[in-house]
A = this chain, B = another copy of it.
Amino acid sequence: MSNIRDVAREAGVSVATVSRALSDPDKVSQTSLNKVHTAINKVGYRPNMLARSFRSAKSYTVVVLVPDITNPFFAQVIRSIEDRAQQKGYAVLLGDTRGMIEREKEYVRRVETRLADGVIQLRPDDAIKHHEMPTGVVCVNACGCESTRGPRVRIDNRGAARAVVDYLISLGHRRIGVMSGLKDNPHTTDRLAGYLESLENAGIKYDKSLLAEGDFTIWSGLNSAKQFCAMQDKPTAIFCMNDEMAIGAIQTFKQHGLRVPEDISITGFDDISYARYCDPSLTTVTQPAEEIGKLAMDMLLRLIEGEELAQEENVLPAEFVIRKSTAVPHRD
Contacts and interface: CB of A to CB of B under 8 A. Distances in A.
Interface stretch (A29-37, A110-118, A187-195): A110-118
Contact of A94 (B48, B72, B94, B98): B94
Nearest to A116: B91
A40 interface: no
Nearest to A81: B94
Contact of A86 (B64, B72, B83, B103): B103
Contacts of A174: none
Interface in A72-100: 72, 75-76, 78-79, 82-83, 86, 91-94, 96, 98
Contact of A279 (B54, B76, B136, B279): B279
Contacts of A273: 70, 218
Interface in A52-83: 53-54, 57, 59, 61, 64, 68-70, 72, 75-76, 78-79, 82-83
B91 A92 contact: no
Interface in A88-137: 91-94, 96, 98, 103, 106, 109-110, 112-115, 136
A148 interface: no
A91 B91 contact: no
A129 to B, nearest CB: 20
A69 B59 contact: no
A218 B273 CA distance: 9
Interface string A37-52: 0000000001111110
Contacts of A78: 69, 94, 96
Chain A contact patch, size range: 35 or more
Contact of A75 (B59, B75, B109): B75
A112 B136 CA distance: 30
Contacts of A247: 274, 277
A248 interface: yes
A267 to B, nearest CB: 17
Interface string A246-283: 01100100100000000000000000011001110000
Interface of A: 1, 46-51, 53-54, 57, 59, 61, 64, 68-70, 72, 75-76, 78-79, 82-83, 86, 91-94, 96, 98, 103, 106, 109-110, 112-115, 136, 218, 247-248, 251, 254, 273-274, 277-279
16 contacts: A50-B53, A50-B57, A50-B114, A50-B115, A69-B78, A70-B72, A79-B96, A91-B94, A92-B93, A92-B94, A93-B93, A218-B277, A247-B274, A248-B277, A277-B278, A279-B279
Given A64-B94, A82-B94, A251-B279, 9 more contacts: A1-B136, A48-B113, A69-B78, A78-B94, A83-B98, A93-B93, A94-B94, A218-B277, A278-B279
